[in-house]
Structure 1
Amino acid sequence: MSTAGKVIKCKAAVLWEVKKPFSIEEVEVAPPKAHEVRIKMVASGVCRTDDHVATGSFVTPLPVIVGHEAAGIVESIGEGVTAVKPGDKVIPLVNPQCGKCSVCKHPEGNLCSKNDLSMPRGTMQDGTTRFTCKGKAINHFISTSTFTQYTVVDEISVAKIDPASPLEKVCLIGCAFSTGYGSAVQVAKVTPGSTCVVFGLGGVGLAVVMGCKAAGAARIIGVDTNKDKYAKAKQVGATECINPKDFKKPIHEVLIEMSHGGVDFSFEVVGRLDTMEAALACVQEAYGISVVVGVPPDSQNVSVNPMLLLTGRTWKGAILGGFKCKDTFPRLVSDFMAKKFSLDPLISHVLPFEKINEAFDLLRSGKSIRTVLRF
């Protein structure tokens, strides 16, 4: 029996308030309106950004269905949708691509003006929500909301992908892989033979390492206080790994010495102000490029001596690896299918959706790289 045009009752993980566990609830998911798509979720990764919402350091309207790194199958479409059809395998897009705004038209820009990242509203493009629980409207999360058996997204926030792709793996292209890999190849534009340093060796950090290797970097130094992450980092391309706690001098000074004057490229994938400052300071003063990848704590400012930039360093950042997601994600999935890269090293745990709180415990304890929830 077709569910098209009908309200679907399903299970979802609702965050009612910060610093509380996710609650598995029965929610009602309304049918898609014009230019909207309803998706049956198959797999969703658990990302640190989701945890930032749960702890209150990423502010978005509550109650909310979080989750944003996922893949699923189109269940039904609203009037006027042409990009996808029921049955298509898709990745929901954290960063939409309307194709009409000045950013979408700019060759280097990817933060579409229709995004819900800069100032999260928690709604669809029309300002309303499609989720209801216990008679109360539940907010959406950054154009996606994937911790639910069914979600609704705008047509500009969905990418059709290879029908043969394994959704429990390519879901990571929705955030972790594209963010890290793109930060190296698209944002920094890492050059062959260069020296790179990656601060933070979690799922996104490992994807940065993979991007640096793919771009031909000769030396890739991983920096992390958790030595348990070193073996995996070396497996995907790191040439060496160091622990800041092992040195008496600041880590940026250690890296300048190791690279005989400063590294070519650095990436901060932790989301801490002190590591952002260290990442900038350790690049070569005349031409080094440092990329902010980690999400910084809410309402905190970094303090930097302008001389660090005046000499020639470049400090930059980008969302989702600087990729125009609707255009790029299908291509990344095709590259994965062509075995140009592997996603297996990034997936440390696979759990049923109902064990979502266990997945967050693994994340917070540093025991997981990426946990994929299966529906």
Structure 2
Amino acid sequence: MSTAGKVIKCKAAIAWEIKKPLSIEQIEVSPPKAHEVRIKILATGICRSDDHVISGAFAMPLPMVLGHEAAGVVESVGEGVTCVKPGDKVIPLFVPQCGKCSSCQSTKGNLCTANDLSSGQGLMPDGTCRFTCKGKSLHHFISTSTFTEYTVVHENAVVKIDDAAPLEKVCLVGCGFSTGYGAAVQTAKVEPGSTCAVFGLGGVGLSAVMGCKAAGASRIIGVDINKDKFPKAKELGATECVNPLDFKKPINEVLFDLTGGEGVDYSFEVIGRIDTMTAALASCHNNYGTSVIVGVPPSAAQISLDPMLLFTGRTWKGSVFGGWKSKDSVPKLVSDFMGKKFILDPLITHTMPFEKINEGFELLRSGKSIRTVLTF
């Protein structure tokens, strides 16, 4: 029996308050309104950004349905939707692409003004919610909310992908892989023969390593305090790895020593810590090095910086979703995966049923996982 136009009752993992495990409960998901799409989520990854909300580092209104890295099938569409239809395989987009705002029309950026990253209101574009539980509205998370069997997104925040794509793998294109890989090839535009340093070797950091390798970097230095991540980093392209805890001097000085006093051409901070952001910048060549901030910093974080780090010529950039325009790029990235232009399997260390979501977060926090994919 068709569920189109009806409220759907399903399971979701709810963040009721910070510093507490997610609660799996039955929720009601309203039908999509005009220009909205209801998606049956089939696979969703656990990302550090989700955990930032749980820990309180990333301030968001609660209760909320988290999750933003996923893939699924369109269940129904609201009036006026023409970009997808029921039955299409899709990826929700935490960076929408309206195609009309200044960012969408510019070749210089990708952060559509219709995004919920900047405001953090946790609402649909019309200012309301589509989720309820026990009579209480549940907030949406950055235009997506994928820790649920069904979600509702605006048509600007979803894109059709190859029908043959394995959703339990390409869900990583919805965030982790695209964010890291794109930071190297799209935002930094790493040049062949260059030297790179990647701070943080989680799923996004390893994807940045893959991007540096794909761009032709001759030397890729992985930086992490967890040595267990070094073999995987080398498998994916790192030429060497260093643990800052093994040295008595700051890591930026270590990297200068490793590069003959020159510094690296490109550095990527994929952790979200203020101290490593400045260290990554300081590790770059002082005249033409480029450092890219990829990790999400805590809310209200402030950086104290020696301006000479920039005065001499370094470039400091930020990168959201790897600099990709989502609707234009996600289908192409999925096609590239299907064409074996890159691999995703090494990033997925655990696959679990959705009900084990809190176990998946513990694996992330303990450093025992790269990416955990939850399936429904």
TM range (shorter): over 0.9
Q: 2:356 aligned with 1:355, yes or no?
A: yes
- How far apart in 2 are the matches of 1:315 and 1:137? 40
Alignment of 1:197-212 (within 5 A): 197-212=197-212
Letter in 2 for 1:368: S
Alignment of 1:39-78 (within 5 A): 39-78=39-78
Q: Deviation of residue 318 (structure 1)?
A: 1.5
Letter in 2 for 1:243: N
For residues 127-148 of structure 1, give each alpha carbon's deviation from its aligned partner in whole angstroms, at most 9, with x where no partner exists: 1010010011111000000000
Match of 1:6 in 2: 6
Q: SS where residue 348 of structure 1 aligns?
A: strand
Q: 2:32 aligned with 1:32, yes or no?
A: yes
Match of 1:266 in 2: 267
Q: SS where residue 306 of structure 2 aligns?
A: coil
Q: SS where residue 299 of structure 1 aligns?
A: coil
Alignment of 1:181-330 (within 5 A): 181-260=181-260, 261-330=262-331
Match of 1:79 in 2: 79
Alignment of 1:145-184 (within 5 A): 145-184=145-184
Q: SS where residue 339 of structure 1 aligns?
A: coil
Q: SS where residue 356 of structure 1 aligns?
A: helix
Q: SS where residue 67 of structure 1 aligns?
A: coil
Q: CA RMSD in A?
A: 0.5
- How far apart in 2 are the matches of 1:193 and 1:238? 14
- How far apart in 1 are the matches of 2:325 and 2:293? 18
- How far apart in 1 are the matches of 2:309 and 2:359? 43
- How far apart in 1 are the matches of 2:25 and 2:74? 22
- How far apart in 2 are the matches of 1:351 and 1:146? 15
Q: Deviation of residue 13 (structure 1)?
A: 0.3
Q: SS where residue 179 of structure 1 aligns?
A: helix
TM-score of the superposed pair, with normalisation by structure 1: 0.99
- How far apart in 2 are the matches of 1:249 and 1:135? 56
Q: SS where residue 96 of structure 1 aligns?
A: coil
Q: SS where residue 374 of structure 2 aligns?
A: strand
For residues 300-357 of structure 1, give each alpha carbon's deviation from its aligned partner in whole angstroms, at most 9, with x where no partner exists: 2111111111111000012100100111000000000000000001100000001110
- How far apart in 2 are the matches of 1:299 and 1:137? 26
Q: Deviation of residue 298 (structure 1)?
A: 1.6
Q: Deviation of residue 249 (structure 1)?
A: 1.0
Q: SS where residue 230 of structure 2 aligns?
A: helix
Letter in 2 for 1:275: T
- How far apart in 2 are the matches of 1:318 and 1:127? 27
Q: SS where residue 270 of structure 1 aligns?
A: coil
Letter in 2 for 1:270: I
- How far apart in 2 are the matches of 1:14 and 1:219? 43
For residues 217-260 of structure 1, give each alpha carbon's deviation from its aligned partner in whole angstroms, at most 9, with x where no partner exists: 00000000100000000000000001011111111011011112
For residues 46-90 of structure 1, give each alpha carbon's deviation from its aligned partner in whole angstroms, at most 9, with x where no partner exists: 000000000111111110000000000000000000000000000
- How far apart in 2 are the matches of 1:142 and 1:250? 36
Match of 1:369 in 2: 370
Letter in 2 for 1:339: K
Letter in 1 for 2:138: I
For residues 191-214 of structure 1, give each alpha carbon's deviation from its aligned partner in whole angstroms, at most 9, with x where no partner exists: 000000000000000000000000
Match of 1:125 in 2: 125
- Greater mean alpha carbon deviation, residues 296-305 or residues 5-14: 296-305
TM-score of the superposed pair, with normalisation by structure 2: 0.99
Letter in 1 for 2:74: V
- How far apart in 2 are the matches of 1:28 and 1:108? 40
Name the count of aligned residue pairs. Answer: 375
Q: SS where residue 241 of structure 2 aligns?
A: strand
Q: SS where residue 334 of structure 2 aligns?
A: helix
Letter in 1 for 2:297: P
List 4+ stretches of structure 1 deviating above 6 A: none
Letter in 2 for 1:307: M
- Greater mean alpha carbon deviation, residues 143-152 or residues 300-309: 300-309
- How far apart in 2 are the matches of 1:53 and 1:297? 10
- How far apart in 1 are the matches of 2:304 and 2:190? 26
